[in-house]
Every structure is written in structure tokens, then in C-alpha cells.
Structure 1
Amino acid sequence: MADVNRGNRPLSPFMLGKYYRPQMTSISSILVRITGNALIAAAFLSVWWLLAAATGPEYFDFVNWLITSWIGDIVMFLSVWALWYHFGGGLRHLVWDAGRCLDVATSEKLGWAMLIGATIMTIITALVV
């Protein structure tokens, strides 16, 4: 049977704003996807640096300067945060795949744990390296 109310309801939960209130579970899911794509950009920068090292000293000096500049430092710092956050998301999915922690309250706590844990681990990584 045709759905006569199709135009009167939101089409997607990702229509943030007046139709959908953001929750920690949805935000953490969206951030896992964003950090996964951001890690691709960090991988390309790393490969670019390695290819520049194989190309020649002049080109390597330029790429090395770019990656070790303040802009490169910010990009790499955020990439480390994305790596830790994405890692936490993978661990969370392993727990969910085992059929545990599927209730909303625990899922929200896991989302906060991912956010706080990624930040702490990024700071530790930056201090150690």
C-alpha cells in the first residue's frame, strides 16, 4: 500500500536540525566514518613524503619542509587523533559483534569513551614521540 505521509516526515536521521536531535551514538558513528576517510589523506601524505625521498634531495626538501611545518604538524596531530578514534570505533564494533553493550546507555558511554580515550592517547603519543 502507498505511504500517503511520505512528504510529511524526515527522510533520513542524518537531517540534523529541527527533524533530528543529535545523539552520542549517531555522532560517534559519523565521526568513525569521517576519521576513516581522513586517514586516507594522512596515508597519501606519508606516501608522498616517501616518494619525494626516492625522487631527489631538492624535491624531498620541499615535501619534508611542508610536512614538518606548523601546518604539517597540525595535520599529523589530527591524523594521530583520527587514528586513535577510528581504532576505538573498531574495538567498539568488536564488542557489538559479540552481542554485548548494545543498549543505548552503554553505547553512549562507549561513544564518550572513544572521544576521551582518543584525546588522551593522542596527547600521550605526542609527548612520547
Structure 2
Amino acid sequence: MRRVQTRPPSFPEVDRDALLSIEPGKRWQVLCGDFGHWRLGVYSPPESSAEQCEELEKHDCPELFLLLSGKVSLVLAEKAGTRVLALEPNKPVLVTSPHSGFCPEGAHTGAALVIERDSFDT
């Protein structure tokens, strides 16, 4: 099992009150944050099925996912087993379980906004 520590500052400096750029074709891109509090990123996995999700991650704090475009599904490991949760527009999900994700229509065809703490252990 891999362990990763994320500590502030864990996000890039950006111009305030300006549009931010999102690079297509990246699994995870941290866009901005508030030092010592939160950071925001875009998640667009290359996997296209649950079977391709070989590694699940679990933070020591919740993460909020909100579908931005296309289709993104999360693979969640729970006591009863593994389940797939398809994200829906305008319906955020607070995730605390070990998880990964995939774009069922092909690599990077969907994107989700993710808000998480600026400091956490995975």
C-alpha cells in the first residue's frame, strides 16, 4: 500500500479574479486553493471501466466531487463490497470511502470538480 502526504501549499499561485485554465487530457489537475484550508482541482481519469481501476485511494478527510462535463463514475470500496456510483450533474457527492474513478465513454471524456483539504494523508 502506498502512502502519500499532501502539505500546504499544495496548489499553484494564480491571478485572483481571473479565469483559470484547465488542461485537457490530465487525470488530476490542482487549480487553486486557500492556504491551510482547501484546494480545488479537476479530475478526468483515463480509465474507461471499473475493471481498469487497479488502485483505490482514501484520504484522512472527505472530498467533494461534482460532475462538470461528460460522464464520470466513481468506484467505491465499502463494507458490503465495491460499487460504482455514476456522478450526476448538479448533485455533489461527499466521498470518504476508498475510491477511484473512470470515464465510461472513453479516456478523459468526462471531468469532475474536486474540493479537498490543503493538507491530508492518503
Judge same fold: TM > 0.5, yes or no: no
TM-score of the superposed pair, with normalisation by structure 2: 0.24
**Bigger CA radius of gyration:** 1
What TM-score, normalized by structure 1, do the two folds share?
0.23
Q: Which structure has more RCO (C-alpha within 8 Å, separation ≥ 6)? A: 2
